[in-house]
Structure 1
């Protein structure tokens, strides 16, 4: 398969995220990278890949895939992230990893230290780094629309966890070791808060684990990002919507927010008004992923880009695990 600017992308893990990025790389992101192959330990996943994309090489081992590619995208369940990331590091390859970096914070810290010492080209897939809606929020924060930032709110809610489209991954998504909505969803908004508002210190927090062995069903936390208070709330089972979320910034001139992943809005005369070019997540996602892939290519070439760094991802993971550790 021909390379695009020499950037061959290998995909480890052909679940929801692996397939999503593959489709982006074959579609709107085709000008940035070329997919040199996929590996997944599940025969069923590889059979599904062969049926949907017979032209994509299927590798029998991680080592063979890593050897072939310029950059490795790790989309396996979290417990395997570090094994694959360290293999990419040892081979001198660039790394694009799903969050979290690891299921153990100490191991994540050690990996980031080693990767930084080696000068590894690496980033973590927090798509808000390439979101058009986030670009709009930043514009409102700098052009005077918001005014002086005073406080912020993060709220996420789910009818059930995992969400319907994630049920095939429930074996790990609804377990305390790797899963839960705080790691899977809330982490994206914590990344956004850290990037837009400032480094976070955790105040009072609480978590409910009403189902034995399962992941959390409610969290509440108070953060201070820089000097700004940020309230965080998450609930399962108190909404009919599979996935609802909002990140609201309150300023001296009013309020702005990101709603439902992709809609930037500002409060005008007591009513929320979407940005003129706002589009729903279904339309925004391929654009965001194409922008992510362009930055992945830049990262792999050693060029400047603003993907989530390893240190940013580690800060998010440390915050997430501190919140979850406050559970009953």
Structure 2
């Protein structure tokens, strides 16, 4: 049985449950507070509780990095240097520069790595991805209302906030690129707020498609997004997000219009009694595929570190575009 170590005693618990459900052995837990880490490890039945990342790495086969976002880069690098497979919570890093450093290190690593982007595992999106296999995407139009990013009214501090991705925009960008099957080549953006709480992004893709994303933060809890994808003679769409009043993630059925009629593309998901909440189940699917990756199986949608770095490239380009008032062209990374 694969031995898993988790760095992070808060969101890391989502991964503890997910990997257990996927059949892994949870061997070690790492946190910043010795007392809290011991308490959480005892409650979860995890043998080793430590504040030393290297001690955790020595006790496991694979590492899940779910520490505070500002520590992701250092913890992923330590895991790779220790010769361990690593799954990093999004965002991979807070900056594009950090991501480039990690990619260079990962290219010499002997064990696989991945980034946790659970949107890819939600059944409606997987159904849509399959439907798109023979339907090239020409345009994507996305709207996102995010209740997890607050405008504090200050004029200082990082544009991208503490998370480095406006509190979850990385999820949406990665899912859009994955659905389109293309990489970004240019970005033009208009941003406001510190951290960014309203944004309009246009992202040109290698396929010739254009991704249009509008984002707005609000004090209302939860997340809601609307997705429309357009191709030659067809369109498809859905909506959904985290709905606190309904106890979790709700995504509508995906509907498509083609040959003069609307049709069902993929069923939706919502919390149901006796079933694992959809977002939690998506994490189980990530865990299963990561364990499969360790056995030499295909990724089956599991995001790479390259994917995580690509998202940070877009966000960095968006900031440059806002600050300089121009379209920013993305340069291919060495080895990409």
The TM-score with structure 1 as length reference comes to: 0.80
Look up the SS of the partner of 2:64 in the other structure. strand
In the alignment, which of 232, 257, 262 is matched to residue 213 of structure 2?
232
- Structure 2 distance, partners of 1:101, 1:110, is 11
What do the CA deviations read for 1:70-96 (whole angstroms, capped 9, x no partner)? 000011112211211121112111011
Higher mean C-alpha displacement, 176-185 vs 97-106 = 176-185
Change (3 A) 1:114 1:142: closer
State the partner residue of 2:133.
Answer: 142
Question: Which ranges of structure 1 fall in alignment gaps of 5 or more residues?
Answer: 164-173
Alpha-carbon distance in structure 2 between the residues aligned to 1:14 and 1:273: 44
2-structure distance, mates of 1:58, 1:129: 31
**Structure 1 counterpart of 2:82, from 76, 84, 91:** 91
Q: Of 211, 216, 235, which residue of structure 2 is paired with 1:255?
A: 235
Question: CA RMSD of the aligned region, Å?
Answer: 3.0
Matching of residue 161 in structure 1 with residue 161 in structure 2? no
Q: CA deviation at 1:135?
A: 1.5
1:151 aligns with 2:132: no
Q: Is the 1:200–1:224 contact (alpha carbons within 8 Å) kept by the matching residues of 2?
A: yes
Alpha-carbon contact 2:86-2:112 (below 8 Å) kept: yes
74 and 241 in structure 1: CA distance in 2 versus 1, 3 angstrom threshold: closer
Contact 2:18 2:284 in 1 (8 A): yes
CA contact (8 A) 1:70 1:300 kept: no
Give the secondary-structure state (helix, strand or coil) at the position aligned to 1:118: coil
More helix by share: 1
Counterpart-to-counterpart distance in 1, 2:292 and 2:195: 37
Deviation at 1:52, TM superposition (A): 4.0
Alpha-carbon offset, residue 66 of structure 1: 0.7
- Please give the alpha-carbon distance, in whole angstroms, between the structure 2 residues aligned to 1:55 and 1:200: 41
Q: Answer yes or no: is 1:296 the counterpart of 2:280.
A: no
Distance across 2 between alignment mates of 1:122 and 1:91? 13
Report the 3-state secondary structure (helix = DSSP H, G, I; strand = E; otherwise coil) of the residue aligned with 1:37. strand
CA offset at residue 9 of structure 1? 0.8
Q: Report the CA distance between 1:140 and its aligned residue.
A: 2.3
Q: How far does residue 160 in structure 1 lie from its aligned partner after superposition?
A: 5.6
TM-score (norm 2): 0.79
